Structure 1
Amino acid sequence: MVALSCQFHHPINVVLKNYRRIKSKPATIFCSAQPSQSNIKVIINGAAKEIGRAAVIAVTKARGMEVAGAVDSYQVGEDIGKVCDMEDPLEIPIMNDLTMVLGSISQSKSTGVVVDLTEPSKVYDNVKQAIAFGMNSVVYVPRIKLETVTALSAFCDKASMGCLVAPTLSIGSILLQQAAISASFHYKNVEIVESRERPTDLPSADASQIANNLSNLGQIYNREDISTDVLARGQVLGEDGVRVHSLVLPGLPASTTVYFSGPGEVYSLKHDITDVQCLMPGLILAIRRVVRLKNLVYGLEKFL
């Protein structure tokens, strides 16, 4: 598809001495054909998951991108549009072979991005396959190991290809982390309280990230009671006294609160996640930015 760009040029000169010579010349039209910018072809790896289905809908609605492939080991062969309860099918079947989907998309020579929503053990091979077919990746896989990130970073540098590894896609969570870092310079007492519906992987990735950020500042917190029994006062993730308390009850929203205190005051920062939809603005931003990368970037906050 091409877009026509037309410019009208009329050889009329307002200088009177040339008026009689040129006044009878007709206007001319010059048209040039310019290729329109194609959409980013997005492959959702983990498309049958709740977050994968939300990602399919978000990409379909976003400007400048489209779902070009759906990969998962569940509901193989079914149309991803129907799986996502969309009004119209997307005519894109779920496939369980990432390589086959990558090969099909690469033949179109379009800009492609693989969104990896799988699991830590598969990320390295998935990103390597995407790079082999000339595509950048957005990885949102909680609990990915740092050695995997380090290995991928070296591979991306060598291939001059981009990859974004995002511990969180929630913009609100990132803002909470940044606010906690700012507050930590003014308070010496801090504790993190989180609630989750299920007891898996606690402390959560969000709480762990906040605790690690505060630890990296080189301060010691809660000096007055740092020797208190850990089991009674929450889990200490480092040697700096930052504790994380995890409350698990069915029906609770995913919530993270950071409490700071000083003489005569308490300062609290809170972020609640009620639906996976909160991750979609961050995902769309990540897809738009990763196509420009030539290396690995860790953390969506680098783009905010």
Structure 2
Amino acid sequence: MAALCCRFHPRIKKHNPKNVKIFPYVSCSMQPTQTNIKVIINGAAKEIGRAAVVAITKARGMEVAGAVDSNLVGEDIGKICDMEDALEIPVMNDLTLVLGSISQSKAQAVVLDFTDPSTVYENVKQATAFGMKSVVYVPRIKMDTVSALSAFCERASMGCLVAPTLSIGSILLQQAAISASFHYNNVEIVESRSNAGGQDFPSQDAIQIANNITNLGHVYNREDISADIKARGEVVGEDGVRVHSLILPGLPSSTSVYFSRPGEVYTIKHDIMDVQCLMPGLILAIRKVVRLKSLVYGLEKLL
């Protein structure tokens, strides 16, 4: 789609003995207009899917173009999200049908995958077949799946972001932990959740922090690295990083990293109140993934 662009150019004044009135001239050209990124949300009826619909609707340069879920099929996604006006986008349970319909517009499109580890690989393959990039935020996704997706995206020269977390605060905590790890020889991670909610523990966030500060040249907690007392928490990796997981109703989702040495304790903490904290990271992921030509693991690599 093109827009008519016109510019006014004043004439250069020259000697005009007869005082003839000189008018500016107008030049016009056809320039393409920038179209919005069309976003398809797979898992739209979930809490994070509904939050994503609202956030994308408010964001500049993008729009909700499709909603896929096995629940609430046929209902308008705007009404499901308690928006003031309907979006006239019904929830559908056929991803291929939605992708095929959106692909006809020839616009840039991104598929958000909030589904299940068992379906991610096929979902990304389908999106790629229609020339669309993917942002995957699926807890408990296996690294074998990530490796297979990376090889597939490399062959297809198609961008994909697999994000263990979309929380920018969580990423900043991880970066601070890496910086601190060079200065302390004792570290333990304590995380809390209000309910297990089908999650594995230690959580993906805690495991990623432990992995990030592992293999940096020294072993932590040397005095009890070999202790097999279960109350001491689980050792993640080979460098002695211990993780403790608290599951108690009423606790916020929180991650704390404690570094210490004699006479000093350095604590980094990040609390998540609700799913809204993931939306700035999600919007950033959508804007960045359209430029990728391969798989990137971790939103922090795009900050």
Aligned partner letter, 2:264:
E
Structure 1 pair 21–13 and aligned structure 2 pair: CA distance change class (3 A): farther
**How do residues 276-291 of structure 1 correspond to structure 2 at under 5 angstroms?**
276-291=275-290
Aligned: 1:137 with 2:134: yes
Residue of structure 2 in register with 1:112 after alignment: 109
Residues in 1 aligned to 2:143 and 2:302: alpha-carbon distance in whole angstroms: 20
> Counterparts of 1:188-203 in structure 2 under 5 Å?
188-199=185-196, 200-203=199-202
Q: For 1:158 and 1:228, locate their aligned partners in 2 and report how far apart those are by CA, in whole Å.
A: 46
Is 1:7 the counterpart of 2:4 in the alignment? no
State the 1:24 CA deviation: 4.4
Aligned equivalents of 1:23, 1:211: Cα separation in 2: 80
Q: Name the CA distance, whole Å, in 2 between partners of 1:192 and 1:209.
A: 11
Q: Tell me which moved more, 103-112 or 155-164.
A: 155-164
Counterpart for residue 210 of structure 2: 211
**Contact 1:255 1:272 survives alignment (8 Å):** yes
More helix by share: 1
- Single out whichever of 207-216 and 221-230 deviates more from structure 2: 221-230
Displacement, 1:230? Answer: 3.5
Task: Specify the SS of the correspondent of 1:239.
Answer: coil
**Could you tell me how far 1:26 is from its partner in structure 2?**
3.1
The alignment of Structure 1 onto Structure 2 pairs a total of residues equal to 301
Residue 256 of structure 1: aligned partner: 255
1:62 and 1:109 map into 2 onto residues whose CA distance is 21
Structure 1 runs (4+) deviating above 6 angstroms are: none
Q: Which moved more, 1:22-31 or 1:88-97?
A: 22-31
Alpha-carbon contact 1:230-1:236 (below 8 Å) kept: no
Q: C-alpha separation between the residues in 2 aligned to 1:188 and 1:173?
A: 22
Q: Is the 8 A contact 1:12 1:23 kept in 2?
A: no
Q: 1:221 to 1:22 in 2, by over 3 A?
A: farther
Verify: 1:227 aligned to 2:209, yes or no. Answer: no
Contact 1:260 1:267 in 2 (8 A): yes
TM-score, normalised via structure 1 length: 0.95
- Bigger shift: 152-161 or 24-33? 24-33
Aligned to 2:154: 157
Q: Alpha-carbon deviation of 1:96? A: 0.5
CA displacement at 1:25 relative to structure 2 = 4.2
For the Cα contact (< 8 Å) 1:12–1:22, is it kept in 2? no
Distance in 1 (CA, whole Å) between partners of 2:222 and 2:102 is 57
**Partners of 2:45 and 2:71 within 8 A in 1:** yes
Instruction: Supply the distance in 2 between the matched residues of 1:91 and 1:169 (Cα, whole angstroms).
Output: 28
Calculate the TM-score normalised by the size of structure 2: 0.96
Task: Select the residue among 172, 196, 199 that pairs with 1:175.
Answer: 172
Measured against aligned partners, the alpha-carbon deviations of 1:101-156 in whole angstroms (never above 9, x if no partner) come to: 00000001111000000011111000000000000000001111111111111111
**Structure 1: how far apart are the matches of 2:81 and 2:215?**
41
Q: Would you say the 8 A contact 1:47–1:71 is kept in 2?
A: yes
- The one-letter code sitting in structure 2 at the alignment partner of 1:153 is S
Deviation of the 1:207 alpha carbon:
0.6
**Gap runs ≥5 in structure 1:** none
How is 1:34-45 mapped onto 2 (pairs within 5 angstroms)? 34-45=31-42
For residues 156-184 of structure 1, give each alpha carbon's deviation from its aligned partner in whole angstroms, at most 9, with x where no partner exists.
11111100000100000000000000000
CA distance in 2, matches of 1:57, 1:79: 13
2:13 and 2:113 mapped to 1: Cα distance?
61
**CA offset at residue 2 of structure 1?**
4.3
Distance 2:48 2:27 in 1: 49
Is 2:215–2:239's contact at 8 Å kept on the other side of the alignment?
no
Residue 195 of structure 1: SS of its match in structure 2?
strand
SS in 1 for 2:267: strand
Q: What SS class does the counterpart of residue 121 from structure 1 fall into?
A: coil
Distance (whole Å) between structure 2 residues aligned to residue 22 and residue 45 of structure 1: 69
Q: Which runs of 5+ in 2 are unaligned?
A: none
